[in-house]
Amino acid sequence: MTHDLATALRRALSKTRASDPAGATALIREALSGAPASGAECGPCAAVERARAKARSGSRTILSGLSGSAQMPKMTGLSGLMGKGGARRGRAAPVPEGARVEMRRHDGPAGGRDYRLFVPSPREGGFAGLVLMLHGCTQSPEDFALGTRMDQAAEEAGFVVAYPAQTGAHNAQSCWNWFRPEDQGRSRGEPAILGDLAQDLAAEFGLEGRVHVAGLSAGGAMAAVLAETHGDLFAAVGVHSGLPAGAARDLPSALAAMQGQVGGARPAARPAIVFHGTADRTVSPANAAALVPGDGIVTEHEREGRRWTRMTTAPGSELWIVEGAGHAWFGGDAGGSHADPAGPDASREMLRFFAEQTAT
């Protein structure tokens, strides 16, 4: 991006208040100049085009959806979710002995994506289940596998793991487009692609009824969408530092939701395990509370100076709130991006939770 987007938005708001909506639109367009031109492939671009249309008609409210008030929300965490630069290029995730990793391509009626497939070593009784792992912005499947250490956990627990790839061809920062209406329904867009992929893999490995979805940040938000659109397919969902389904319908409302304005959000549609840090400046912890609302049994934990609480609700969901932690996968490998080596071990806890949901 040619500008820091937060600065550009503040300048654009000043332009709007000065009765210059066209100037405001130009500032936003310049800040998003690195995004694809097609509104069908880029949520921010679609927001810009809507703003331009309003500017032509003389509207002075093009940025009102950013905060819902006269004050501009703080945007300090925006760059973390929307991303800066590409995925980190480092070492590959280690492959446990006896396991295998394949790079594949899925194509279906709604479209296609490349994906990384982890298959654990053979074992008596077959595999425990399938997990669709959705990376965050600017990440790649390999980077995400390394940072989460999910392959190691999946080898121990016997889970097949698929890591679909979102690229700059579909979003300028390789984010899953969780905030676009066309990517929030069952029969089209990214939910259709990802649901079709999960169904194909479940059939291939004989894991019907034992399919789960998890993700980080934008990937966590898309995981929440999939739990809602494909409740018959996904038995449970894991959301790490993400947002609930219904939290946004465009880029402005996405920015507001990231800052904690989650009035339109819906609780997780399937049993959910949710992780969030209290010091997350990218996505407000209010989103975690919206995913798993209500009361439950709370236990407190401490390990190596880090504290967290775990709340288990009556419907069987879990909410983990980690004191002082930021926007990164807990228990991860620092060699990957957006990974926090300190506990709790989110990958192992997610697989434990998923296994409990499908235990017979």
Domains, the chain, with CATH or none: 5-69 (no CATH), 105-357 (3.40.50.1820)
As to burial, measured by CB atoms within 10 angstroms (0-12 exposed, 13-18 middle, 19+ buried), residue 297 is exposed
> According to the model, what pLDDT value does residue 89 have?
55
Q: What is the DSSP letter of 79?
A: H
CB proximity list for 224: less than 8 A, separation 6 or greater:
178, 237, 239, 242, 243, 244, 245, 268, 269, 272, 291
> According to the model, what pLDDT value does residue 314 have?
81
> According to the model, what pLDDT value does residue 63 have?
23
CA 120 vs CA 96, 100, 238, 351, 358: distances in Å: 8, 7, 20, 13, 19
CA 57 vs CA 18, 20, 52: distances in Å: 16, 12, 9
Q: Are strands 306-313 and 296-303 parallel, antiparallel or unpaired?
A: antiparallel
Cα pseudo-dihedral 39, 44, 50, 53, rounded to 10: -90
Supply the pTM of this predicted model: 0.78
Residue with tokens 């676009």: 180
Chunked in runs of 10, what are the mean pLDDT values of the chain (360 residues)? Answer: 42 45 45 37 35 34 24 35 48 93 97 98 96 98 98 98 96 97 96 98 98 98 98 98 97 96 93 98 97 95 94 93 98 97 97 89
Alpha carbon distance 285, 289 (integer Å): 7
Nearest to 355 by CA among 22, 127, 92: 127
Residue with tokens 């947002």: 243
> According to the model, what pLDDT value does residue 81 have?
54
Residue with tokens 């998003």: 32
Alpha carbon distance 282, 325 (integer Å): 12
